[in-house]
Amino acid sequence: MAQIKIFDTTLRDGEQSPGASMTASEKIRMAHELQDLGVDIIEAGFAASSSDEVRAIRDISREIKRPIITALARANEGDVIAAAKSLQEADSPRIHVFIATSNTHLERKLGINRGECIDRAVESIRLATSYVKDVEFSAEDATRTDLDFLTEVVRAAIQAGATTINLPDTVGYALPSEIQLMIEALQSRLPELDQCTLSVHCHDDLGLAVANSLAGIAAGARQVECTVNGIGERAGNAALEEIVMGLKVREDELDHRTGVRSEHLYRASRLLSYLTGIHPQPNKAIVGRNAFAHEAGIHQHGVLKDPSTYEIMTPEMVGVPQSKLVLGKHSGRHGLEARLRELGYTLEPEELDRVAASFKELADQKKNILDEDIISILNHGVMENVPEAYRIDDLGVTCGSALSRATITVLDENGVPRIAEGEGDGPIAAVFAAADTLHDFKVVLEEFEIRATTPGRDAVGEVTIRARVDGQTLTGRGGSTDVVLASAQAYIHVLNKGVQARELEARHFAARTDWGV
Ligand code: KIV
Ligand code: ZN
């Protein structure tokens, strides 16, 4: 039995999926979750892409100490240096160098020949080894690369010092049998592959990413690259939770294990959906809302008699809360703390203070507070760290068949109140119009979603807004039993992020100006 390394690329490849962008502080929060989950490697970002990305990689390198932290770099000097600099504070840094190797990519995208491709790979890997011991090389589009050339590139990469060789199915084209053949062929041609960790990285364009990853592992890969909820470019990457549970539930056949704490899978999934506003479809394996729901009478009957009749794993194994009636108005702070601990969350005292305050507010509106409500409160209030340029103090709305009107009282960072008024076609439009009188950003609303976290009329409504603020896409969130208030919170959240982004940009600009003087 071998230990399979879980390389999580939620914060890099996952974040590349449309609408999944996260701020640096949201990425740190997710990175903490990934560390708790027990992944071996966190790909924190692509340093050369932006200053925000560098900040996120730096912060993660400083704070997250157990897993290896890696940053992606194209095979060129600038990218490798940017990656190396961003990883300076990591205890276990890895530079991940990639270059495309298929004819299509070489000819149509890079406009270089095979010799140049190998030269660039070798030079960049050598440069990377001058900064860190741990260097990964990826042959982008490996599965559509001529096998002889792939063998040559991989041989050169190992000689140049790569310690992990990754073979991506970049466009999700391969079949499991082809992944297996590719790996077996490389292993027989390159005995030196034994000195490296062999890795697979599969995309889901044909819905085969997990099957291909498992085929890669069966053939000898000892690292698998994946993302929480399978988010990623186009149809996404292989879903981490499916790979982990596939290996765990079918250990009898696959005979490998991972270091992931499977009972943390659900909370990692929930946190990511909360941060990105992208929720897995209800029938998504492992973490979908219906993954453990039994609708048909025959199934319910069977499960009640013995869960093993229709369940190949229990909800507890992946940390799905059982929506037990848990707490109410009279449950104290200790009761709340104990339930949070049972759900796997240990909070700092000041975090607990904030959850307890939100819990009290919710308990005034909702009689029975379920586990899902508690997770929602946690996500919404507790670890939010965008400075509040605007904080909602009061909200009043009148609506009916005529135009709706909203008045929002917000407090600024110094607690000074401002009153904003607006009109619109419905209460939410009126709230947004009122909020728009507070700022000078150009805001274009791209997506607006309301979702009930639990069943019932008194459910908490979670609102996610995606908007372009001065050209930058930002995600805002709100949560309340009153969906108009939740919408106002989400809109104000977007504006606060806009203010933060503007300040960070100004600081970045000032730093560059000083440096130039
Ligand atoms: O899909 C891919 O080929 C990648 C590489 C950069 C590893 O994401
Ligand atoms: Zn990828």
The candidate with the shortest Cα–Cα distance to 174, out of 210, 223, 221, 222, is 210
Residue 360, number of CB atoms within 10 A of its CB: 13
The answer to whether 273 and 280 have CB atoms below 8 angstroms apart is yes
- Which secondary structure element, helix H or strand E, spans residue 185, and what is its range? helix 176-189
Give 420's strand partners: 408
Residues of the chain with CATH 3.30.160.270: 391-504
Phi, psi of 81, deg, nearest 5: -65, -40
DSSP 293: -
Whether 170 is in the pocket of ligand 1, judged by its Cβ within 6 Å, is yes
The answer to whether 269 and 228 have CB atoms below 8 angstroms apart is yes
Give 404's strand partners: 424
The answer to whether 177 and 219 have CB atoms below 8 angstroms apart is no
E strand intervals along 163-308: 164-169, 197-202, 223-226, 256-258
* Length of the chain as a residue count: 517
Whether 33 is in the pocket of ligand 1, judged by its Cβ within 6 Å, is no
Fold of the domain spanning 391-504: Double Stranded RNA Binding Domain (3.30.160)
Q: How far apart are CA 180 and CA 215, in angstroms?
A: 6
Whether 345 is in the pocket of ligand 1, judged by its Cβ within 6 Å, is no
Give 268's strand partners: none
pTM for this predicted structure: 0.90
Q: What is the DSSP string of 389-427?
A: SSEEEEEEEE-SSS-EEEEEEEE-TTS-EEEEEEEESSH
Which protein residue's CA is at the shortest distance from atom 7 of ligand 1?
138
The candidate with the shortest Cα–Cα distance to 203, out of 227, 226, 177, 172, is 172
Q: How far apart are CA 204 and CA 17, in angstroms?
A: 12
Atom of ligand 1 nearest to the CA of 12: 8
pLDDT at 516: 38
Whether 241 is in the pocket of ligand 1, judged by its Cβ within 6 Å, is no
Degrees, nearest 5: CA angle 113-119-123: 150
pLDDT at 299: 66
Quick check: helix, strand or coil at residue 516? helix
Which protein residue's CA is at the shortest distance from atom 8 of ligand 1?
13
Residue 145 CA from chain centroid, whole number = 29
**Residues near 504 by Cβ (< 8 Å), separated by ≥ 6?**
52, 55
What CATH number should be reported for the domain whose range is 2-276?
Answer: 3.20.20.70
Rounded distance from Cα 74 to ligand 2 centre (Å): 13
Q: How far are the Cα atoms of 301, 378, 445 from residue 476, in angstroms, in the given order? A: 42, 16, 11
Whether 140 is in the pocket of ligand 1, judged by its Cβ within 6 Å, is yes
Whether 204 is in the pocket of ligand 1, judged by its Cβ within 6 Å, is no
Helices (H), 225-378: 240-249, 251-254, 265-276, 297-305, 333-342, 349-365, 371-377
Quick check: helix, strand or coil at residue 19? coil
Residues of the chain with CATH 3.20.20.70: 2-276
* Side-chain-side CA neighbours of residue 396 (13 Å): 5
Rounded distance from Cα 456 to ligand 2 centre (Å): 40
Q: How far apart are CA 112 and CA 117, in angstroms?
A: 7
Between β-strands 404-411 and 134-140, what pairing exists: parallel, antiparallel or unpaired? unpaired
- Kindly state the tokens that stand for 475: 């995600």
Digit-by-digit pLDDT tens for the chain (517 residues) are 899 999 999 999 999 887 888 988 899 999 999 999 999 999 999 999 999 899 999 999 999 999 999 999 999 999 999 999 999 999 999 999 999 999 999 999 999 999 999 999 999 999 999 999 999 999 999 999 999 999 999 999 999 999 999 999 999 999 999 999 999 999 999 999 999 999 999 999 999 999 999 999 999 999 999 999 999 989 999 999 999 999 999 999 999 999 999 999 999 999 999 999 899 999 999 999 889 876 666 666 777 788 888 889 999 999 998 766 567 777 778 888 888 888 888 888 888 888 888 888 888 888 888 888 888 888 776 656 688 999 999 999 999 888 999 999 999 989 999 999 999 999 999 999 999 999 999 999 999 999 998 888 888 899 999 999 999 889 999 988 999 999 999 999 999 999 998 888 787 767 655 443 3
Which protein residue's CA is at the shortest distance from atom 5 of ligand 1?
140
Q: How far apart are CA 225 and CA 127, in angstroms?
A: 24
Radius of gyration in angstroms for the set of CA atoms belonging to the chain, rounded to a whole number: 25
Report the interhelical angle of 147-160 vs 176-189 (nearest 10°).
50
Whether 14 is in the pocket of ligand 1, judged by its Cβ within 6 Å, is no
pLDDT at 507: 78
Whether 236 is in the pocket of ligand 1, judged by its Cβ within 6 Å, is no
Which protein residue's CA is at the shortest distance from atom 1 of ligand 1?
170
Q: How far apart are CA 30 and CA 76, in angstroms?
A: 29
To test ligand 1's pocket by mutation, which of 170, 223, 224, 237 has the most ligand atoms within 8 angstroms of CB?
170
